[in-house]
Amino acid sequence: MSMFGRAWVAVAALLVSAQAAHAHIVAARLGDFYAGALHPLTDLQDIILWIAMGVLAGSLGATTGRWLVLVFPLGLLAGLGLGPAFGIVSAGAVADAGTIAVLGLLLATNLRIGTVPLCLIAVGLALMRGAANAGDLGPETNRLLFAAGLAGAGYAAITLTMALTVAFRGTDAGSSIAWRGIAIRAFGSWIAAIGVMMGGFALAT
């Protein structure tokens, strides 16, 4: 076999034997931090609820919503700690569906709620989802790292979603950007519809 042929076979053998790369995260010392940060991304309910909460806070303006930057991650931590302590790991699919529907309806109706009610909703949601995320904690999981990861993810998700919504909505009251408010309300109706559907699925099973 020529040198070109041998090189070709060697390259092909390398490609065939290729495996997925595991550079870090899983086996590293901080693996549980990443597990906590990524765990919500594995559950569609978390993704929808967190986004809905962030968009709702952003639609009410930065002044009203900014407290969530602090309140939401702390609520997740509280839920993560209190959920297993009280034997509550999940509020149930119907409760999740109801929360999604309520958040969507608040967005769709453009109801102007104050800072305190918004924070109460966020704390309730964060407690619920913190407890739900605690459900998959194993005995070997480093809880401190997992909690730090979850709180970091909650902080990043709420802050970014809220900031994007505030920027999208704009501050100009002119008619040229009025459609943006309508788009946010239409998005809210999508969220509410998803919640209603999810409630139906939960009742059907």
Residues contributing to the site for another protein (CB under 8 A): 5, 8-9, 12-13, 15-16, 44-45, 48, 108, 182, 185-186, 188-190, 192-194, 196-201, 203-204
User: Which positions ≥6 away from 65 have C-beta within 8 Å?
Assistant: 57, 58, 118, 162, 166
Report the nearest approach of another protein to the CB of residue 48 (Å).
7
Residue with smaller CB distance to another protein, 49 or 126: 49
Residue with smaller CB distance to another protein, 109 or 120: 109
- Return the closest-CA partner of residue 70 out of 123, 1, 7, 139: 123
Report the nearest approach of another protein to the CB of residue 82 (Å).
26
Residue with smaller CB distance to another protein, 17 or 171: 17
Report the nearest approach of another protein to the CB of residue 100 (Å).
9
DSSP helix/strand/coil, 2? coil
DSSP helix/strand/coil, 173? coil
Report the nearest approach of another protein to the CB of residue 205 (Å).
8
Residue with smaller CB distance to another protein, 82 or 164: 164
For residue 134, which amino acid is it?
A
Token reading at 23: 């550079």
Give the chain's radius of gyration (CA, Å): 22
